[in-house]
């Protein structure tokens, strides 16, 4: 007998870390806060706004809890609401790290915070300014009346006198929550696509997290070191009704039931949303992992997923692992499904030229050449339009491909009429620069992982 439907909210302290622009220190401070409260025995659930693979790795290590994305456009309001509600049921604190500037993007960080009633704290690099920092923070706090700003976090603050000038210039309803000194030993390491992957510098990150906890404790403004106010998080009514009307045997259709999906995961391929793994298992798939860098054979599987990552940093090793190359090539010839995203697509091409202009042979299951192009690149939200359906996602790359076959479709940009990323299909392979968010369309995602001959079997 199922429990009755309840629409009661669950309250949990929550804070949204935002900034006037990128590179203000949001991730460093969010990670420091997560570790600070985790060290106090609190369960801290952290979310990252928008499409991002690297920040969540950092934040997951800092909080010792899984980190997922919240993006209203990519995932939908109900999805975001349910994630916050489920987290509130187990957490002592919810932290959300914003993306770019506070009002940048559509939807923006401010849109997300306003939709779910989460107060925002403004992180600002105040080096080179004093009262102006207060003016900027005041302008951000009052730009919209549907957003609550709890205060300012002054990052890279030079001295107590520096902090005093900012503090005295702020209005009474916008306190200085923390004044954090400049400390390069705490700043998180970066590379050409953002932060370095957490598993590459795990021990170093631990040292930085613990140093960051002491860094927080040294602030003369202690507002950030207390739990923020509790926020009510509501369940999604439609999901509760659906669950209440189902018997235990009436689960969501298992579109991938009985299928095993092998996922490339190592230093070269790691851009994997935790939400995507959950989506595959929710549809009944068994997931297994393998390393194109180190393994010689593929695990037994019905489909492969080659996600994005940094193949350009490991092109030589990938090219030298000919046993794995031959295994994937043979898998491709069977016509079984392969999804190759961004770095996975580069690996699928005939060859890849790295940042040193060295060229290495790749899989050759998709005609064409890939090459890195320094600081120039492409990024943005797009919907993959393929015969299987439409799946939302994003592009973020600093490489180019050439001499590729005719695409079967293109990404549809969020707010621009020009065609987005080309999407290729050959045998069971679907390849593109796009990183897909599977929960945005489970049925279309399932079809990508089913060989064409299987699509008529009740799926």
pLDDT at 4: 53
Convert the pLDDT of each residue in 381-438 to its tens digit. Answer: 899 999 999 999 999 878 889 999 999 999 998 877 788 899 999 999 999 999 999 9
The distance from CA 380 to its chain's CA centroid, rounded to whole angstroms, is 13
Strand partners for 372: 399
- Mean pLDDT on 254-264: 96
**Per-residue pLDDT at 203 exceeds 80:** no
- Mean pLDDT on 95-104: 96
The distance from CA 263 to its chain's CA centroid, rounded to whole angstroms, is 17
Q: To the nearest 10°, the Cα dihedral for 294, 297, 303, 307?
A: 10
- Mean pLDDT on 138-144: 98
- Mean pLDDT on 65-93: 95
The secondary structure of the chain in percent helix, strand, coil, rounded to multiples of 5, reads 30, 30, 40
Alpha-carbon distance of 72 to 133, in angstroms, equals: 30
pLDDT at 451: 73
Residue 91: strand, helix, or coil:
coil
Q: Per-residue confidence at 195, pLDDT binned at 50, 70, 90?
A: very low
With beta carbons less than 8 A apart as the criterion, state whether 68 and 82 touch: no
- Mean pLDDT on 133-153: 97
Say if strands 399-402 and 308-309 run parallel, antiparallel, or are unpaired.
Answer: unpaired
Mean residue pLDDT across the chain: 90
**Per-residue pLDDT at 361 exceeds 80:** yes
- Mean pLDDT on 220-229: 92
- Mean pLDDT on 249-264: 82
Convert the pLDDT of each residue in 11-58 to its tens digit. Answer: 999 999 999 999 999 999 999 999 999 999 999 999 999 888 888 989
pLDDT at 112: 97
Q: How far is CA 143 from CA 18, 102, 138, in A?
A: 14, 10, 8
Asked whether the bond before 169 is cis by omega within 30 degrees of 0, the reply is: no
With beta carbons less than 8 A apart as the criterion, state whether 306 and 348 touch: yes
Known catalytic residues are 342
Nearest to 424, CA basis, from 436, 411, 437: 411
C-alpha gyration radius of the chain: 23
**Per-residue pLDDT at 59 exceeds 80:** yes
Q: What residue has token string 């409260």?
A: 37
The DSSP letter of residue 9 is: -
Q: Domain spans of the chain?
A: 10-233, 260-454
**Per-residue pLDDT at 169 exceeds 60:** yes
3-state SS track over 214-256: HHHHCCCCHHHHCCCCEEEECCCHHHHHHHHCCCCCCCCCCCC
Topology agreement, domain 10-233 and domain 260-454 = yes
Q: Per-residue confidence at 453, pLDDT binned at 50, 70, 90?
A: low
DSSP string, 141-194: HTS-TT--EEEEEEEEE--HHHHHHHHHHS-TTS-EEEEEE--TTTSPPEETTE
Which CATH number describes the domain made up of 260-454?
3.40.50.880
**Per-residue pLDDT at 456 exceeds 80:** no
Alpha-carbon distance of 348 to 346, in angstroms, equals: 5
Q: Residues 381-395, buried b or exposed e (16+ Cβ, 10 A)?
A: bbbbbbebbebbbbb
- Report the residue count for the chain: 459
pLDDT at 377: 57
pLDDT at 214: 93
Regarding predicted confidence, which is higher, 185 or 326?
326
> Which of the listed CATH numbers 3.40.50.720, 3.90.220.20, 3.30.300.30, 3.40.50.300 matches domain 10-233?
3.40.50.300
Give pTM, 2 decimals: 0.88
Token pair recorded at residue 180: 């954090």
Regarding predicted confidence, which is higher, 227 or 415?
227
Regarding predicted confidence, which is higher, 121 or 253?
121
Alpha-carbon distance of 322 to 320, in angstroms, equals: 5
Residue 134: strand, helix, or coil:
helix
Burial-class residue 328 by CB neighbours within 10 Å (0-12, 13-18, 19+): buried
DSSP string, 434-459: PEE-GGG-HHHHHHHTS-GGGTTS--
pLDDT at 424: 96
Q: How far is CA 423 from CA 140, 262, 432, in A?
A: 40, 21, 5
DSSP string, 295-364: -SSPPS-SEEEE-EE-GGGSHHHHHH-HHHHHHHHHHHHTT-EEEEETHHHHHHSSEEE-TTS-EEE---
pLDDT at 120: 98
């Amino acid at each position: 007998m199922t429990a009755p439907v309840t629409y009661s909210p669950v309250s949990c302290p929550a804070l949204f870390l935002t900034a006037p622009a990128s590179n203000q220190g949001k991730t460093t401070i969010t990670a420091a806060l997560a570790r600070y409260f985790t060290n106090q025995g609190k369960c801290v659930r952290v979310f990252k706004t928008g499409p991002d693979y690297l920040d969540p790795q950092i934040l997951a290590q800092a909080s010792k809890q899984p980190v997922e994305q919240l993006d209203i456009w990519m995932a939908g309001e109900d999805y975001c609401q349910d994630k916050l509600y489920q987290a509130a049921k187990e957490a002592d604190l919810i932290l959300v790290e914003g993306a770019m500037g506070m009002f940048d993007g559509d939807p923006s960080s401010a849109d997300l915070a306003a939709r779910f009633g989460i107060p925002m704290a403004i992180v600002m690099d105040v080096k080179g300014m004093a009262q102006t920092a207060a003016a900027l923070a005041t302008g951000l706090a009052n730009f919209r009346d549907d957003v609550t700003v709890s205060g300012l976090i002054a990052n890279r603050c030079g001295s107590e006198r520096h902090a005093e000038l900012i503090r005295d210039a702020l209005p009474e309803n916008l306190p200085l929550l923390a004044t954090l000194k400049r400390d390069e030993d705490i700043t998180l390491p970066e590379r050409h696509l953002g932060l370095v992957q957490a598993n590459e510098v795990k021990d170093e990150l631990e040292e930085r997290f613990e140093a960051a906890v002491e860094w927080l404790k040294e602030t003369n403004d202690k507002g950030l070191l207390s739990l923020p106010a509790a926020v009510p998080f509501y369940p999604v009514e439609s999901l509760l009704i659906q669950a209440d009307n189902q018997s235990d045997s009436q689960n969501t259709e298992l579109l991938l039931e009985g299928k095993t999906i092998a996922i490339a995961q190592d230093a070269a391929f790691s851009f994997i949303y935790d939400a995507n793994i959950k989506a595959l298992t929710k549809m009944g798939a068994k997931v297994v992992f393998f390393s194109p860098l180190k393994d010689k054979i593929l695990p037994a599987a019905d489909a492969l997923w080659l996600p994005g990552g940094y193949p350009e940093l490991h092109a030589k090793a990938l090219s030298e692992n000919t046993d794995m190359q031959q295994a994937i090539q043979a898998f491709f010839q069977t016509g079984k499904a392969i999804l190759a995203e961004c770095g996975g697509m580069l690996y699928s091409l005939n060859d890849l030229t790295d940042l040193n202009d060295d060229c290495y042979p790749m899989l050759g299951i998709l005609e064409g050449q890939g090459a890195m192009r320094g600081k120039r690149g492409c990024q943005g939200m797009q919907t993959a339009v393929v015969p299987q359906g439409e799946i939302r996602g994003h592009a973020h790359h600093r490489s180019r491909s050439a001499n590729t076959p005719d695409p079967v479709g293109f990404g549809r940009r969020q707010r621009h009429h020009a065609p987005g990323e080309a999407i290729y299909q050959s045998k069971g392979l679907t390849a593109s620069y796009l990183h897909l968010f599977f929960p945005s369309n489970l049925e279309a995602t399932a079809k990508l992982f089913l060989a064409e001959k299987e699509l008529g079997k009740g799926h």
